[in-house]
Amino acid sequence: MIENISDCIEVRVTAGSRDETDRICSAVVEHRLAARAQIVAPIESTYWWAGEVQHSGEWLLLMTTTTERFEDLARCVRELRSYEVPQIIAVALVAGTADYLEWIRRETAPRSGA
């Protein structure tokens, strides 16, 4: 069964090293800001910075969460990131299986006493 959803999102973040990526993934999952975090192999990025075109190797993180948890997740990422202006973007999910979407909601729900 596929369920239409509006409260689940995928958050995309880039990091400058594997160690930084590991720290971010562990923190957001441990604090239940994301139900899961995936690390994509190193990528090459090209972008404008300080008036020049830059090229650098980065790591891509894909995190699944809810819109309710986005601001807390973004705050956590900013605290752990080395970049001055980190990429933290959310992409809306348009559909998913009901059991998976429920798992995302359950695993990111704030816990009492947390």
**Boundaries of every domain in the chain:** 2-108
Q: What's the pTM value of the predicted model, to 2 decimals?
A: 0.90
Tell me which amino acid residue 19 is.
D
Residues 6 or more apart in contact with residue 84 via CB below 8 angstroms: none
Structurally, what CATH architecture does the domain formed by 2-108 represent? Answer: 2-Layer Sandwich (3.30)
Q: How far is CA 45 from the centre of its chain?
A: 18
Model confidence pLDDT, tens digit, residues 28-76: 999 999 999 999 989 999 999 999 999 999 999 999 999 999 999 999 9
